[in-house]
Structure formats: C-alpha cells, structure tokens
C-alpha cells in the first residue's frame, strides 16, 4: 500500500490473477482484479491501485502506442483505435522566452478523439469487456465523454455520459453525440455529475470509467513512459521536471505510478525521476491550496469557475495519489489566472501547437514558476498539453485574431496588406 517512490516490488498475493491485483492505498486491502466490479476498497472505501508482481524495465517494451507498454498493463491488448505515440514538440521561441535549458511539449491532443483520455479508455473499456458489463458511464467536463463514447462505440457497448449543463465546450458534446452516447445535461457542476455516476455505479447500474476507476490510470501512465523514452532518446537523459494541468489529478497520479514501477524494476534511480509539477486555474485550485498549506487532504471547492473547462473541477478524486506524487518527486503546484492561460494558448499556437485552454495551463504555470525562481534556468522541462484546440473552438476563436474585411479584388487586398 506504500506510495513511496522507492517502495520495493511486492510478492503477488493469493488473490492475484497472473501477477496482477488491486490494492487499497489507505488500508492495504487486496482484491482480485477481475472477479467483481469494484472502484474503491470494500473495507474502507479508499482508492485502489493496480499492482504487479513483476514491474517491467524499458527493455520489456516493444511496438508503438499505448500497447507498446503491454508489459506494464493488465492485458496484452485492448479496445484500440489506436492511441498513444503522441509528438514531443520542440518549441524554440517559447523555450527562449520562458528561459529554461530545454523545453518540449507533449501534445496529447493528437490522440484519436483529441485528448489524453483515449489512453485510459483503451484499457478501461477492455476491462469492462472482461467483467461482462453492458453499460458504460462517466461524468465529464467533455474530454472523458468524447473518449468513452468513441471507445464504447468501438466495443459495441451502451454509453451514458453526464455533463454539467451549459459548462461543456460544443466540440466535446458533438463528439459524444456523434459516437451515439446518451447525453444527460445535469443541473450542477462536474462534481455533482460524478456524485451521481458513483451512486449509479454502486447500485450496479453502470460501469464507471472516470479516473476513480484504477484501470483508467493504467492507460494514462503510458504518457510517462513515452516522455521518458522520447526525451532519453533525444538527449541521453530524463527531464528534470514535468509540468501538467490538474483537474481530477489522474495524470499526476498515473505518471507517479509509472515512475514508481520503473524505480521498483531498477530501470530508474529515484534521483532520476522528474519533479511532478501541477497547474490549476485560479478559479478551481483545491490541489494548489493543499500543496501550499502542506495538507494531506484536499478541501472540496463547491464553487469553481474558469474558461479552462477541462480542469473546472473542485474535488479532485485522485488527490490521495497525486499529493504524494508531487511531494515524493520534489515537485510543486501553482495556480494561474485565465488571462495567463489564454496568453500561453496563443504562445503555443505561434509555435504551431494548437491546444484547448486547459492544456495551455501547463505552459502558463511554468512561466509563473520561472518568474518566481522556483524553476531554474538550467532545467530540462516537459510541459504536458492534454487536448486539441478544436475541443473548444469558441475559446480558440476568442484567443485568435479577428478577421479583417476587405474588398473583393486583388487591388483591394494589395492595398489592405500594404503591398508595394
């Protein structure tokens, strides 16, 4: 049940299935992975993690995409579109502007449905099929619903998504709708939606595929494997820091788990692990509050607001996994305002990297931490961007330049642009 970075490999308990089991991070309870549907601990309701008796090294990885890392996942293959193998962009002008030694941007918006959520769904929907469930469900600020709808459609399963009414970008609702999900617009925020989906799941009426589901995070941890391999191949070393947006804190938890497994396998030393650095919008920053106050738990924010809709979350369910990840790796967390997020979105776009607002929070957070002296000039940094710019076309339009009216002739255009 240890979440220490240098925790040793565990022996498989009697409940394990081919060296895989579920374990509660709170009380240490252990459960068979596929004999029953469970999302939290039967004994204390704590969060569960998928554990392995034989964590892999880099030498065990082969192929491409998420399932390159099958040796670190519960199955050899999943319900795939396919996903993963996203670019690690160079952004030279932005690097110089921020003032770090190296800066790369891991663009998860290049997954099949346009966000990192596809990585979790390829594993989670495969587990649902293993368990024999017939209705998938999620609460969503948009990206989860799009990914679940697509992967549920691929698997031929009924899909139900609950969205906070009027709070989800049109591009994301359109995706879920086209992939034939049933969309319920709830009078409340994301956390209200998640409360309802959890209740439905506990009643056995749906299979929950939010990041509370530990199998979701197994797919998402492959982001960490890819960053380490790609950065090492380019520079012969691992990055010093990974900066990422925080909503439900699933990616922070997942990357920390990937690093712990590599350390346990002897593939990394603890001092080589990048510092996990979380960024939240100022209007939805309960994780930042906990980190700044040295708290072991996150206080739920009942009212949250930010134009970065994908991280408009006041009760990050994975905080018990994410807070140790930030602290054990020597990271931190920072809040940025919406104006800084939009500025970072524009800066990324000028480098040819198009992202939705929540994604740009990572760059805005890095800039703020660099100005504060928390991030040093000699650091090698990777910023994670989580969703494509067309996820929120309205925000992209508002952040961009206005169209310029011009007459319908070549001469009118030449005059307008100041041609000689």
**Which segments are annotated as binding site for pyridoxal 5'-phosphate?**
143, 247-251, 386
Q: Give the tokens for residue 150.
A: 């697509």
DSSP letters of 345-374?
HHHHHHTT--B-HHHHHHHHHHHHHHHHTS
Q: Is 158 helix (H, G, I), strand (E, B) or coil?
A: strand
3-state secondary structure of 138: strand
> Are residues 32 and 22 in contact, defined by beta-carbon separation less than 8 angstroms?
yes
Give start and end residues of each alpha helix (H) in 132-241. 143-155, 170-178, 190-202, 214-220, 222-235
Q: Which residues are documented as binding site?
A: 143, 247-251, 386
CA pair distance 96, 93, nearest whole angstrom: 5
Tokens of 158: 């009924």
Strands (E), 44-176: 48-52, 88-90, 102-107, 135-139, 158-164
Side-chain half-sphere CA neighbours of 58 within 13 A: 14
Residue 408: other Cβ atoms inside 10 A = 6
Cβ distance 385 to 359 under 8 Å? yes
Secondary-structure percent of the chain, ordered helix, strand, coil, rounded to 5: 40, 15, 40
Check: CB of residue 226 under 8 Å from CB of residue 86: yes
Residues 223, 116 contacting (CB under 8 angstroms): yes
């Amino acid at each position: 049940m240890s979440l220490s970075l240098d925790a040793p490999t565990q022996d498989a308990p009697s409940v394990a299935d081919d060296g895989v089991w579920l374990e509660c991070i709170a009380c240490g309870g252990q459960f068979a992975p596929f004999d029953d549907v469970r999302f939290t601990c039967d004994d204390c309701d704590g969060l569960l993690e998928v554990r392995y008796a034989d964590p892999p090294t880099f030498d065990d990885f082969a192929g491409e995409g998420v399932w390159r890392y099958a040796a670190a996942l519960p199955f050899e293959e999943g319900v795939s579109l396919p996903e993963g193998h996203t670019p690690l962009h160079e952004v030279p002008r932005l690097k110089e502007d921020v003032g770090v030694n190296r800066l790369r941007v891991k663009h998860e918006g290049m997954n099949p449905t346009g966000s990192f959520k596809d990585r979790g769904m390829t594993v989670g929907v495969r587990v649902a099929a293993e368990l024999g469930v017939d209705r998938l469900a999620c609460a969503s600020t948009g990206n989860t619903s799009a990914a679940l709808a697509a992967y549920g459609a691929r698997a031929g399963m009924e899909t139900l998504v609950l969205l906070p009414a009027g709070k989800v970008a049109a591009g994301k609702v359109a995706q879920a709708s086209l992939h034939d999900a049933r969309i319920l617009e709830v009078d409340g925020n994301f956390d209200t939606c998640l409360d309802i989906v959890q209740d439905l799941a506990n009643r056995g009426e749906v299979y929950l595929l939010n990041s509370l589901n530990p199998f979701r995070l197994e797919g998402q941890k492959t982001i960490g494997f890819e960053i380490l391999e790609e950065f090492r191949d380019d520079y012969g070393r691992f990055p010093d820091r990974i900066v990422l947006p925080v909503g439900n804190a699933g990616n922070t938890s997942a990357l920390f788990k990937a690093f712990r497994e590599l350390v346990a396998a002897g593939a990394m030393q603890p001092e080589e692990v990048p510092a996990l650095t979380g960024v939240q919008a100022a209007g939805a920053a309960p994780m930042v509050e906990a980190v700044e106050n040295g708290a072991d738990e996150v206080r739920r924010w009942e009212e949250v607001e930010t134009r970065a809709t994908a991280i408009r979350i006041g009760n990050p369910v994975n905080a018990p996994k994410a807070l140790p990840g930030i602290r054990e790796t020597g990271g931190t967390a920072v809040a940025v305002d919406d104006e800084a997020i939009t500025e970072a979105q524009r800066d990324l776009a000028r480098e040819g990297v198009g992202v939705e607002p929540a994604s740009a929070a990572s760059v805005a957070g890095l800039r703020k931490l660099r100005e504060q002296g928390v991030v040093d000039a000699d650091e090698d940094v990777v910023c994670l961007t989580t969703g494509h710019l067309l996820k929120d076309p309205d925000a992209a339009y508002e952040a961009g330049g206005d169209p310029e009216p011009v007459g319908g002739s070549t001469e009118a255009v030449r005059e307008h642009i100041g041609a000689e």
